[in-house]
Amino acid sequence: METESSWNYTCQHGPEECVGNKIQACVLDQVPEPSEYVPMINCLVESRGAENATADCLADLDISTTTAEEVNECANSDEGSNLLHEYGVETKNLDPKLYSVPWVLFNDVFDNDSWQAGLDDLREVLCGNFLAGSSKC
């Protein structure tokens, strides 16, 4: 629902999910390198309570392009709500339409074979096709 300057959300799994989604949107906005934001998002998803995990994930992954304070400030502001709205619009406009989660785009393109293989072993798909030579592989 749009308010005067932002958006209000109701998330399937409750308010903590909405906070976590906003934190992830802010991380994507503040951490420009996929080699940093992919493991960061993974760390947040695996943690209980993304808001409390932000500092630990940034430190554990040695990410210095932002701080936990900046991410949490963004997530708790209109900026975080607006970023999440932008991702929602992007999701709504996917072609083909999203019909299952997780839904993965590879270099902004949906590839059914990579998606299906990624459901079993995403690391293998990424390292074998997209991240060759990465220290994360």
pLDDT category of residue 118 using cuts at 50, 70 and 90: very high
Compute the distance between CA of residue 59 and CA of residue 42 in angstroms, rounded to an integer.
14
In the predicted model, is pLDDT for residue 51 greater than 80? no
pLDDT category of residue 4 using cuts at 50, 70 and 90: low
Other CB atoms closer than 10 Å to residue 48's CB: what's the count? 7
Predicted confidence at residue 1, as pLDDT, reads 57
What is the model's pTM? 0.80
**75-84 confidence digits (pLDDT tens):** 999 999 999 9
pLDDT category of residue 13 using cuts at 50, 70 and 90: confident
Predicted confidence at residue 2, as pLDDT, reads 54
Outline where 1-137 has alpha helix (H): 15-30, 34-46, 50-60, 68-75, 78-92, 112-129
